[in-house]
Amino acid sequence: ALCPRFDVVVNNAAYGLLGAVEECDSTEAYELFFTNFFGAYHLLRELLPELREQRAGHILNISSIAALAPQAGSGLYAASKAALEALSESLAAELAPLGVRMTIVEPGAFRTDFLSPRSLHRATRSIGDYAASSGQVLQRMQKMDGVQLGDPELAAQAILAVVDAPEPPLRLLLGSDALQRARLKLARQCADIDRWEDITVGTDHAAEEIEA
């Protein structure tokens, strides 16, 4: 039987894990990556042959602003999404000549059940030294549940607009909070690059050694 053609793939399976990196044990970390990264990876492996054959399609990997701008208390979750983003960027370059498009969606806080116990896990350990960093973030997220700025219906409309776009972006930020965090992170990163430029380029071989 012929496999029916499909045009859009959405990788959205994931859950959150909050806690300082030291507070999260190995089992929690492996299980998180199994869902957030390897879940998406295995789905892609199943569908890529069909996408290549039909020379068309659009993959949307749902990431998070945490991948681009991690905060205290979300290190493992941010790492799982950052791994998905790195995979997505390489895959986008591999698929572009084949007519298959890729978009990484980076939402901020949306009024879903992501912050509820059904979707958000907490590290089993608690270390007092992290109360002022990751502990503060956890408290802030508790207060945010149910009053997040983002509207899920408007996010869905934005994603549909990207799917219909003739030239969709590689990355799509969703939410003004995501935009603010992204700009702040990129500004700091550019400032570090500029400030340490002399050290950076100072590690190259001398020009005469390269020419020789």
Q: Report d(CA 41, CA 168) in Å as an integer.
A: 22
Closest CA to 19 of 146, 121, 107: 121
Angle between helices 26-36 and 38-54 (to 10 degrees): 20
Residues with active-site annotation = 63, 77, 81
Instruction: Enter the tokens of residue 180.
Output: 């603010």
Q: Report d(CA 88, CA 183) in Å as an integer.
A: 21
List of residues 6+ apart from 48 with CB closer than 8 A: none
Contact 81, 63 (CB under 8 A): yes
